[in-house]
C-alpha cells in the first residue's frame, strides 16, 4: 500500500471544521510524551492540565477571566488576517490601552462616579487604536511591512509602561514598588459572579464576538474584507479601497486589544503593574487561527487557550513543572493546526502499488 | 578621545552586531530561495538555551555550539515540513515557530536560570593579536565573531559566483521556471531553510555563551525580528547585511553609553527603546525613500510553490 496525495477540487468544509479537533488531539498526544520526558506521570499531568481546572467554580470563572481578552483581541486579528493584514503587535496595543485606561482611572482617583469606567474603556479603545494607527499609517503611506513595525512597537510599549510605573504613575505610598495605586471601586469592573473574579469584560468580549460575526457575514465591510483576502484581484477590480480596509482592520484590532488591556487592569489586576499580560496578544494569534478566523469559533478556541494558561499554573502547583509548559502547548497546537490544514486542500488516499516489470 | 577609550567601545559594537549578523545572513539565504521564515526569534532562543544547557552539561563550549546548530536546523526543518511539504502559510508558521521557541526555551532554561558558564574563549592568533589596538580589534575575538564574518563572505561568494548559488536565486526569483528546467525547487528551499536555521542557532549560541554568558528567559529581546528587518534594510545583499548589522550594533551600544554617561535625565527604558525605534525608522526610510524601486526582494518571497501535476 502506498499513500497518494491529490488536490481537492474545492476545499473540504468538513475538514475545515474537523482540523481544530485533530490539532487538539495531536497536541494532547504530544503533551503525553512531553510530560513523560519531563519525568511527570503523563496521565495525571494531562488530568491536571486539561480537566481539573474545569472541576471547580473558581476554575470555570478563571477560565472565562482569561478567555475574555483572548477573544476580544482574536476577533480583531481574525478580521485583519482574513484581509491579509498581519498585525502581530496586539500585545503592544493591549499595553497602550491599559496605560491609557489606567491613566484615566488614576486621574479620577479622588472622584467616584458611574462615568469613570466608560471613560476608561473609551481611553483604552483610543489608546490601542492610535497605537495601531502607527503601523497602519506606515503601511498605507510608505508601504512598510506591518508585521515588523507592529512587533517592534510591542517592545516600545512594554518599555513605555515600565517608564510610567517606575516614574510618574508610581504609587506615592507604595514603598517604591513599580506599580500604580490600586484603582478605586468606581474604576473597577463589576463582578458578575459573586466570590469569583469574573467581571463584566467577559460579557463584553462575547458581545464583541457576536458583533464581529455580524460584521463579517452581514456587512459590506465584511464582504470587502473576505474578498480582499481570498481574491485580491477581484477586490481590486471591484474597486475596494485597500488603504481604507487596512486602516479599518488595524484600528479595530488595536482598539479591541486596547480595551482588553483596560479591562485587565480594571478587572483582575486592579492597578498598573510592569507585567499586564502573560502574552495574551500573541496567544490571541493562535486563538484566531484555531477558531478558523471565524468569530464564533474564536469563542471556543479562546476558552481552550485560556485553559492552557490554567493548565500551566496547575502543572506548576501540583506537579512542580515549569509554567512554560503552557507556551510549548500553545506553539504545538498552532503547528499541528497548520499541518492538518493540509487535509482541507488535499486528499490522502491509500493506493495499491502497481507492480513493475 | 584616545584609542584606549574608543577600542572597548568598538569591541562592544562588534559583540552587539554579531548575533544580528549571524541571524540575518541565514535569513538572507532563506529569503533568496523565496521562503520567508518569521521564526528567527524562536530558532535563536532554542539555539541559545540548547547551547547553554549543553555547555553546562558537558563542559564543552564547542559541543554547545554544535548543539545550537542542530537545534536551529531541527526547528527550521519543522518549518520546512509545514510550509514546503504541507504548503502551510509561511507567515503563520513562522509565528508558530517563534511562539514554540519561546515556550520550549523557557521550559528547558527554567532549571538553568542563575547558572554561570564560562564566557566563550577568544581565539588569539599568536603574533598578530599582540599588536596594539589593531590586534584586539581584528584578531581578539571568539570563534563565533569570526564565523559571522566568514559566513557573510561565503554567502556573498556562493550567491554571486557559484552555480548552486545561481540556482538558489533562480528558485527565489521564479520557482516555476526553475522547476520547468529541471531544478528541484522544494529541495533547494529545504537546504536554504536549514541554513537559515543553522545560522539562527549560532546567533542564539553567541548570545548565551558570549554576549551575556548566562540564560535569561526571552534573552533574544527581539533581535530575531531586527535581523529580519536587516535583510530588507540590506535589500537582500550580503555585504549590506554586514554593514547594517554593525550600524544596529552601534545603536544598541550607543544607548548603553548614553545611559552610562548619566545626567541626561532620560529613564533607562526610554534609551532601551532606541534599537526598536531605529528599526522602524530604517524600515520606513528604505520603503519610502529613493531606494524604493530598487529593493530587489526575491520575486517569489513568501509564496508557496505548487507545481502543476
Q: What is the CATH number of domain A2-9+25-351?
A: 1.10.3470
Kindly list the domain boundaries of chain A, sorted by start residue: 2-9+25-351
CA–CA separation, A119 vs A102, rounded Å? 10
CA–CA separation, A141 vs A355, rounded Å? 61
On whether any CB of chain B is under 8 Å from the CB of A33, the answer is no
Average pLDDT of the residues of chain A: 90
- Per DSSP, B83 falls in state I
Series of mean pLDDT values for 10-residue runs along chain B (309 residues): 74 93 97 94 96 94 96 97 91 91 92 87 76 75 92 96 94 90 93 97 96 91 92 90 93 79 73 89 82 70 74
Average pLDDT score over residue span A214-240: 88
Instruction: Report the gap between the CA of B288 and the closest CA in chain A (Å).
Output: 5
Question: pLDDT value at position B116?
Answer: 85
Band of the pLDDT at A208, cuts 50, 70, 90? Answer: very high
Q: Provide the 10 A C-beta neighbour count for residue A279.
A: 18
Unique residue bearing C-alpha cell 528567559? B217
DSSP string, A154-182: HHHHHHHHHHHHHTTTS-TTSTT-S--PP
Task: State how far the alpha carbon of A110 is from the alpha carbons of A105, A106, A298, A313, in Å.
Answer: 10, 8, 39, 36
Pull the grid cell for residue A246: 487596512
Question: pLDDT value at position A354?
Answer: 64
Instruction: Report the gap between the CA of A62 and the closest CA in chain B (Å).
Output: 22
Residue of B nearest to A35 (CA): B107
Question: What is the distance between the terminal CA atoms of chain B, rounded to a whole angstrom?
Answer: 67
CA–CA separation, B166 vs B161, rounded Å? 8
How many CA within 13 A on the CB side of residue B203?
38
CA–CA separation, B32 vs B238, rounded Å? 11
**How many helices and strands, by DSSP H and E, does chain A display?**
14, 2
Unique residue bearing C-alpha cell 535569561? B216
- Per DSSP, A190 falls in state P
Instruction: Report the gap between the CA of B161 and the closest CA in chain A (Å).
Output: 31
b/e string for A48-82 if b means 16 or more Cβ within 10 A? bbbebbeeeeebbbbbbbbbbbbbbbbbbbbbbbb
DSSP string, A221-250: HHHHHHHHHH-HHHHHHTT--HHHHHHHHH
Mutation site, A39, A78, A339, interface B, largest B CB count within 10 A: A339
For residue A263, the Cα-to-chain-centroid distance in whole angstroms is: 14
Question: pLDDT value at position A357?
Answer: 47
Q: Do B107 and A322 touch (CB under 8 A)?
A: yes
CA–CA separation, B99 vs B294, rounded Å? 33
> Tens of pLDDT along A130-177?
999 999 999 999 989 898 899 999 999 999 999 999 988 888 888 888
Q: Provide the 10 A C-beta neighbour count for residue B285.
A: 15
HEC-encoded secondary structure of A276-293: CCCCHHHHHHHHHHHCCC
Between residues A192 and B77, the one the model is more confident about: B77
Amino acid at each position: 500500500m502506498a499513500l497518494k496525495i491529490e488536490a481537492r477540487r474545492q476545499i473540504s468544509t468538513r475538514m475545515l471544521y474537523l482540523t481544530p479537533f485533530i490539532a487538539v488531539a495531536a497536541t494532547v498526544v504530544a503533551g503525553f510524551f512531553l510530560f513523560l520526558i519531563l519525568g511527570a506521570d503523563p496521565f495525571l499531568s494531562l488530568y491536571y492540565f486539561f480537566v481539573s481546572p474545569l472541576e471547580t467554580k473558581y476554575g470555570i470563572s478563571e477560565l472565562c477571566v482569561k478567555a475574555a481578552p483572548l477573544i476580544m483581541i482574536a476577533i480583531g486579528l481574525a478580521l485583519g488576517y482574513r484581509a491579509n493584514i498581519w498585525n502581530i503587535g496586539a500585545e503592544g496595543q493591549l499595553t497602550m490601552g491599559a496605560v491609557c485606561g489606567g491613566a484615566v482611572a488614576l486621574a479620577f482617583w479622588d472622584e467616584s462616579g458611574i462615568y469613570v469606567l466608560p471613560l476608561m474603556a473609551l481611553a483604552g479603545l483610543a489608546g490601542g487604536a492610535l497605537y495601531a494607527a502607527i503601523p497602519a499609517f506606515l503601511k498605507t503611506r510608505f508601504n512598510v511591512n506591518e508585521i515588523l513595525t507592529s512587533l517592534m512597537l510591542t517592545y516600545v510599549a512594554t518599555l513605555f509602561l515600565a517608564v510610567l510605573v517606575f516614574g510618574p504613575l508610581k504609587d506615592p505610598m507604595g514603598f517604591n514598588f513599580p506599580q500604580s495605586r490600586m484603582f478605586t471601586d468606581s474604576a473597577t469592573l463589576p463582578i458578575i459572579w459573586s466570590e469569583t473574579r469574573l467581571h463584566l469584560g467577559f460579557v463584553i468580549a462575547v458581545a464583541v464576538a457576536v458583533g464581529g460575526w455580524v460584521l463579517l457575514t452581514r456587512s459590506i465591510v465584511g464582504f470587502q474584507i473576505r474578498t480582499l483576502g481570498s481574491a485580491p484581484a477581484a477586490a481590486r477590480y471591484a474597486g475596494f479601497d485597500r488603504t481604507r480596509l487596512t486602516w479599518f482592520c488595524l484600528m479595530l484590532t488595536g482598539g479591541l486589544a486596547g480595551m482588553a488591556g483596560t479591562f485587565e487592569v480594571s478587572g483582575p489586576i486592579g492597578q498598573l503593574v510592569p507585567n499586564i499580560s502573560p502574552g495574551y496578544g500573541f496567544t490571541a494569534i493562535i486563538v484566531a487561527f484555531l477558531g478558523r478566523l471565524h468569530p464564533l469559533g474564536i469563542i471556543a478556541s479562546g476558552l481552550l487557550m485560556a485553559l492552557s494558561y490554567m493548565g500551566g499554573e496547575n502543572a506548576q502547583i501540583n506537579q512542580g513543572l515549569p509554567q512554560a509548559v503552557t507556551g510549548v502547548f500553545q506553539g504545538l497546537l498552532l503547528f499541528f493546526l497548520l499541518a492538518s490544514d493540509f487535509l482541507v486542500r488535499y486528499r490522502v488516499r491509500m493506493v495499491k502499488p502497481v507492480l513493475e516489470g | 578621545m584616545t584609542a584606549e577609550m574608543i577600542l572597548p567601545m568598538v569591541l562592544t559594537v562588534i559583540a552587539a552586531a554579531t548575533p544580528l549578523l549571524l541571524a540575518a545572513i541565514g535569513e538572507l539565504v532563506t529569503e533568496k530561495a523565496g521562503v520567508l521564515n518569521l521564526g528567527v526569534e524562536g530558532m535563536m532562543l532554542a539555539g541559545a538555551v540548547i547551547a547553554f544547557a549543553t555547555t553546562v552539561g558537558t563542559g564543552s563550549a564547542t559541543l554547545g555550539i554544535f548543539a545550537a546548530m542542530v537545534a536551529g536546523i531541527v526547528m527550521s526543518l519543522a518549518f520546512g515540513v509545514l510550509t514546503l511539504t504541507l504548503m502551510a502559510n509561511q507567515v503563520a508558521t513562522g509565528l508558530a515557530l517563534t511562539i514554540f521557541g519561546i515556550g520550549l526555551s523557557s521550559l528547558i532554561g527554567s532549571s538553568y536560570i542563575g547558572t554561570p558558564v564560562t564566557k566563550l574563549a577568544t581565539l588569539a592568533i599568536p603574533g598578530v593579536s599582540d599588536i596594539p589596538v589593531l590586534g584586539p580589534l581584528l584578531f581578539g575575538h571568539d570563534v563565533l565573531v569570526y564565523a559571522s564574518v566568514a559566513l557573510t563572505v561565503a554567502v556573498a561568494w556562493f550567491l554571486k559566483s557559484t552555480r548552486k548559488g545561481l540556482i538558489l536565486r533562480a528558485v527565489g526569483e521564479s520557482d516555476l521556471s526553475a522547476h520547468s528546467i529541471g531544478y528541484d525547487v522544494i529541495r533547494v528551499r529545504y537546504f536554504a531553510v536549514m541554513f537559515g536555521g543553522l545560522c539562527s542557532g549560532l546567533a542564539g549560541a553567541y548570545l548565551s555563551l558570549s554576549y551575556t554568558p548566562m540564560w535569561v528567559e526571552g534573552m533574544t529581546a527581539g533581535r530575531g525580528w531586527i535581523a529580519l528587518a536587516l535583510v530588507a534594510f540590506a535589500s537582500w545583499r550580503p555585504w549590506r547585511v554586514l554593514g547594517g548589522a554593525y550600524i544596529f550594533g552601534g545603536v544598541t551600544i550607543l544607548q548603553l553609553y548614553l545611559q552610562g554617561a548619566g545626567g541626561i535625565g532620560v529613564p533607562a527604558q526610554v534609551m532601551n527603546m532606541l534599537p526598536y525605534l531605529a528599526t522602524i525608522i530604517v524600515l520606513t526610510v528604505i520603503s519610502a525613500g529613493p531606494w524604493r524601486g530598487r529593493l530587489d526582494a526575491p520575486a517569489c518571497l513568501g509564496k508557496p510553490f505548487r507545481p502543476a501535476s
